[in-house]
Amino acid sequence: MKLHAALILLSGAFVYALAGGSAAAKPATDWVSTEFADVRLISAVAGTEGRDAVPLGLEFRLAEGWKVYWRSAGDAGYPPQVDWTGSRNLAATETLYPVPHRFSLFGLESFGYDDHVVYPITARLEEAGGALKVDAAVNALACSEICVPLEASLSLELPSSASEPTPYAQLLSRWTAQVPRDLPGVGLDLATVRAEGDPASPTLVLTVASATPLGELDVFPEGPNGLSFGKPEITLSDGATAATVRLPVGTRGDARLDGADLRLTLVDGERFVERPVSVAAGAGAAPVAAGSLWVVLGFALLGGLILNLMPCVLPVLSIKLVSVLEYGGAERGAVRRGFLATAAGIVASFLVLAGALAGLKSAGVAVGWGIQFQQPLFLAAMATVVLLFAANLWGWFEVGLPRALADLGSRLPLGDGQRRGPGRAGDEGLAGHFLTGAFATLLATPCSAPFLGTAVGFALSRGWEQIFVVFAVMGIGLALPYLAVAAMPTIAQALPRPGRWMVTFKRVLALALLGTGVWLLTVLAAQIGVTVALALAALFTVGAVVLALLHRRRRPGAGVAAAALFASALALAAVLPTVQTRTDLSGPVLTDTVPWRSFDRSVIDRMVADGSVVLVDVTADWCITCKVNKRIVLEADPVAGVLSDGDVTAMKADWTNPDPAISNYLASFGRYGIPFNAVYGPSAPEGIPLPELLSADAVMEAIARARGAEQTAGLDSR
């Protein structure tokens, strides 16, 4: 650790010298040394110009076997305390605490640091940009077999000059990056927390969910005075992606665990997260405050509703628009039943999707939102279905239902209490509306929407119960417009009555479906080669001609021809030998504006260690939202200018085909769908996740944060 810190300081000093830094700036105090520990104060910047806050650090070098303490020391000890009396232009300070280590001795648990640690400190200025003088009277406790108080008086002055990085900027950034926060997307979270046993001597029971197998899980609890926590007993399950943690709790006075507000820090290797929780008593389980199931269900509802506006769903809306127009002048009961059937088809399809994902997850298969679009057979089937829907709108082919469904439709009651006879029009209506809802769900899955990624990530990182609940609510969100019409049928009744004008209208809408079919073929071409896509296109052309001729000559057999077309398309996609033709991204891939390079997580770490900023774009040919983000944000100014001039490295992770490395990368942020973008840099080595729908402001702000506050002004000046 000491050698590592020395290397960082040497590289920082070299950069500082190249930047024109002067030793006279004195961005660090001299060491105050004892036999067991050395301490000093450091600054990440050489001056205060343009700043209202300054990043400082309280640095300890500890002799072998000695330690200092975390903000919550555990059963013994206390964290360093600093008296800032005598400082000038200092309004307030905030001390941060990196992830601690656990020290167990004779049944006592304490939390802290050995060897080397830097406590990051934010010093806020009374006068922005004014010179700063800090006088720090440090009182710390260093312990080994004995504990010794450590006192030091440290004084540091920073002039009101240029805010250049100092040799200590990278060292301070590295320790700041190790401070746990209450953030989503880490891939490590609490599912439940509760108290069990005698209230006088209870046990804190936690269930932990992880996107990847757990290896070095530990939990550091903090609570009100009167509560102390023993060493956790950890039991892994579900292939080490879940854990039950039991911590014995000691109580003093009137302190009680049940109903207490706690702060829990979860650590597993390089992953860590902080969660505020409220403890539920007995067998009940309280959701994590920041990741409450109710909050996630709200996200799921909003995400499903917004999904209606995504381009994936527009072709289905064209189909539904035709059915809505056919309701012009219809009675209220028929309108209500039709739209409720569509909503039921959507919700039922989401439940089927939830069951499939839960089953794959239990089998150890990587899961995610839209993963069925990575399967060539699914793409071929969807392209065929889209073509048949287009043929239906053109009037070449009527989509009939199995006799059992038709018989069921004939027994459904009408609004006037009558029942449909087997020969009456509309026998197949409700089942058709139900299938329209199912089709909408299938085409919606390659799109993402705001709030949707959070909800899907929460669900897929937990058990099957949460998966089903969250996906059901997402389905209700997508179905809300149909439920609204079912609640107010007058909306549909007010539309013009059907007439000959609808024939032309249907043919125009069929073009939207044809465009969707072409898009599906391009996705298929990216997965298994252009040969299959062209062969399918030829097959579809022949099939369309056959359906058109049968319709023109009024000959039966359209249903047989459609079934043959469907079977032929699946057989062609399954058996035609092809060579994958995905773009080789081993080197930079030039587009019109941005030189993208291939995704490699280890390369990101090395580049960030060298002070570079990296933007990662996880995308796929079947992801419409990804293409929208790329077109209007990533490959448009001002973002494209930053990515193309070498100032920020652009890295593309192509998830068109299944890729375990990309699946695991998404899971590390608690994400299971795309689009996903993250920005890495010296001040954000773990990455800053971006929203599903990008904006230039959000990307540029993340780049500035990842680069470091001291260089933000240079970026903003572009």
Q: What percent of the chain has pLDDT over 70?
A: 67
Rounded CA gap, 249 and 265, in Å?
Answer: 16
Is the pLDDT score of 415 beyond 50? no
User: Given this model, what pLDDT does residue 82 score?
Assistant: 96
The residue ranking higher by pLDDT, 103 or 481, is 103
Task: Mark 418-455 as b/e (b = at least 16 C-beta within 10 Å).
Answer: eebeeeeebbbbbbbbbbbbbbbbbbbbbbbbebbbbb
Angular region, 385: left φ>0, alpha ψ -120 to 50, beta rest: alpha
Rounded mean pLDDT of 535-549?
76
Q: pLDDT confidence of 423, banded at 50, 70, 90?
A: very low
Q: pLDDT confidence of 222, banded at 50, 70, 90?
A: very high
Classify residue 584: in a domain, yes or no. no
Rounded mean pLDDT of 454-476?
75
Is the pLDDT score of 617 beyond 80? yes
Q: pLDDT confidence of 487, banded at 50, 70, 90?
A: confident
Q: What percent of the chain has pLDDT over 90?
A: 24
User: Given this model, what pLDDT does residue 297 score?
Assistant: 81
β-pair type (81-83, 132-143): antiparallel
533 and 427 in a common domain: yes
Quick one: 395 exposed, middle or buried, by C-beta within 10 A (0-12, 13-18, 19+)? Answer: middle
Please give the structure tokens belonging to residue 624: 């419409």
Rounded CA gap, 15 and 580, in Å?
Answer: 46
309 and 212 in a common domain: no
User: Given this model, what pLDDT does residue 125 score?
Assistant: 95
The residue ranking higher by pLDDT, 473 or 21, is 473
Q: pLDDT confidence of 563, banded at 50, 70, 90?
A: low
The residue ranking higher by pLDDT, 3 or 31, is 31
Q: pLDDT confidence of 556, banded at 50, 70, 90?
A: low
536 and 442 in a common domain: yes
Q: pLDDT confidence of 712, banded at 50, 70, 90?
A: very low
User: Given this model, what pLDDT does residue 361 score?
Assistant: 60
User: Given this model, what pLDDT does residue 580 score?
Assistant: 42
User: Given this model, what pLDDT does residue 660 score?
Assistant: 76
Q: pLDDT confidence of 575, banded at 50, 70, 90?
A: low
Rounded CA gap, 689 and 680, in Å?
Answer: 9
User: Given this model, what pLDDT does residue 373 score?
Assistant: 59
Is the pLDDT score of 587 beyond 70? no
Please give the structure tokens belonging to residue 436: 């329209």
Classify residue 239: in a domain, yes or no. yes
* CATH number for the domain harbouring residue 617: 3.40.30.10
498 and 561 in a common domain: yes
Classify residue 509: in a domain, yes or no. yes
Rounded mean pLDDT of 211-240?
89
Is the pLDDT score of 67 beyond 90? yes
The residue ranking higher by pLDDT, 649 or 552, is 649
User: If you average pLDDT over each of 147-161, 199-213, 223-237, 247-261, which comes out highest?
Assistant: 147-161
Classify residue 342: in a domain, yes or no. yes
Rounded mean pLDDT of 322-344?
71
The number of CA neighbours under 13 Å toward the Cβ of 220 is: 26
Q: How far is CA 639 from CA 29, 249, 626, 630, in A?
A: 40, 52, 15, 10
165 and 217 in a common domain: no
324 and 471 in a common domain: yes
Rounded mean pLDDT of 502-526?
70
Is the pLDDT score of 180 beyond 50? yes
Q: pLDDT confidence of 460, banded at 50, 70, 90?
A: low
Q: pLDDT confidence of 316, banded at 50, 70, 90?
A: low
**Cα-to-chain-centroid distance, residue 684:** 16
Is the pLDDT score of 25 beyond 60? no
Please give the structure tokens belonging to residue 515: 């465009």
User: Given this model, what pLDDT does residue 413 score?
Assistant: 39
Q: How far is CA 468 from CA 263, 463, 473, 477, in A?
A: 29, 9, 9, 14
600 and 555 in a common domain: no
**Residue type, position 219, single letter:** V
> What is the CA angle 525-526-527, rounded to 5?
90
Instruction: Share the mean pLDDT of the chain.
Output: 76
User: Given this model, what pLDDT does residue 710 score?
Assistant: 44
Backbone angles phi, psi at 635, to 5 degrees: -115, 35
User: Given this model, what pLDDT does residue 581 score?
Assistant: 41
Classify residue 582: in a domain, yes or no. no
User: Given this model, what pLDDT does residue 57 score?
Assistant: 97
Classify residue 581: in a domain, yes or no. no
The residue ranking higher by pLDDT, 528 or 411, is 528
Classify residue 416: in a domain, yes or no. yes
Classify residue 47: in a domain, yes or no. yes
252-310 pLDDT, tens per residue? Answer: 877 888 778 899 999 998 899 999 888 854 433 333 343 456 777 887 888 788 777 66
Rounded CA gap, 583 and 597, in Å?
Answer: 11
Q: Identify the sign of the CA torsion 172, 175, 179, 183.
A: positive
Which H/E stretch holds residue 158?
strand 147-158
Q: pLDDT confidence of 541, banded at 50, 70, 90?
A: confident
324 and 401 in a common domain: yes
Where among 176, 204, 230 does a domain terminate? 176
434 and 338 in a common domain: yes
Rounded CA gap, 134 and 156, in Å?
Answer: 5
285 and 321 in a common domain: no
199 and 103 in a common domain: no
Is the pLDDT score of 68 beyond 50? yes
* CATH number for the domain harbouring residue 237: 2.60.40
307 and 287 in a common domain: no
User: Given this model, what pLDDT does residue 7 score?
Assistant: 40
618-658 pLDDT, tens per residue? Answer: 988 767 677 778 888 898 888 988 888 878 999 999 887 77
Q: Residue 636's domain spans which residues?
A: 589-716
Rounded CA gap, 453 and 706, in Å?
Answer: 22
User: Given this model, what pLDDT does residue 202 score?
Assistant: 86
143-167 pLDDT, tens per residue? Answer: 887 888 899 999 999 999 998 999 9
Q: In sequence order, what E strands does 197-294 have?
A: 203-210, 217-222, 227-229, 233-237, 242-251, 261-268, 271-278, 280-281
Is the pLDDT score of 540 beyond 70? yes
Where among 149, 176, 203 does a domain terminate? 176
DSSP character at residue 29: P
User: If you average pLDDT over each of 364-378, 392-406, 691-705, which comes out highest?
Assistant: 691-705
DSSP tally for the chain: helices H, then strands E: 20, 26
Q: pLDDT confidence of 104, banded at 50, 70, 90?
A: confident
User: If you average pLDDT over each of 192-201, 221-230, 452-461, which comes out highest?
Assistant: 221-230
Is the pLDDT score of 99 beyond 60? yes
User: Given this model, what pLDDT does residue 48 score?
Assistant: 94
Picking from 316, 309, 339, 299, the residue whose alpha carbon sits closest to that of residue 471 is 299
Where among 236, 270, 291 does a domain terminate? 291
Which residues make beta-bridge pairs with 155?
135
Is the pLDDT score of 573 beyond 70? no
Q: Of 443-457, 601-615, 668-682, which range is least confident?
A: 443-457
DSSP character at residue 413: B
The residue ranking higher by pLDDT, 93 or 441, is 93
User: If you average pLDDT over each of 81-90, 525-534, 695-704, which comes out highest?
Assistant: 81-90
Quick one: 607 exposed, middle or buried, by C-beta within 10 A (0-12, 13-18, 19+)? Answer: middle
Q: pLDDT confidence of 530, banded at 50, 70, 90?
A: confident
Domain count, the chain: 4
Asked if 32 and 190 count as a contact pair (C-beta separation under 8 A), the reply is no
User: If you average pLDDT over each of 41-45, 141-145, 479-483, 606-610, which comes out highest?
Assistant: 41-45
Q: pLDDT confidence of 32, banded at 50, 70, 90?
A: very high
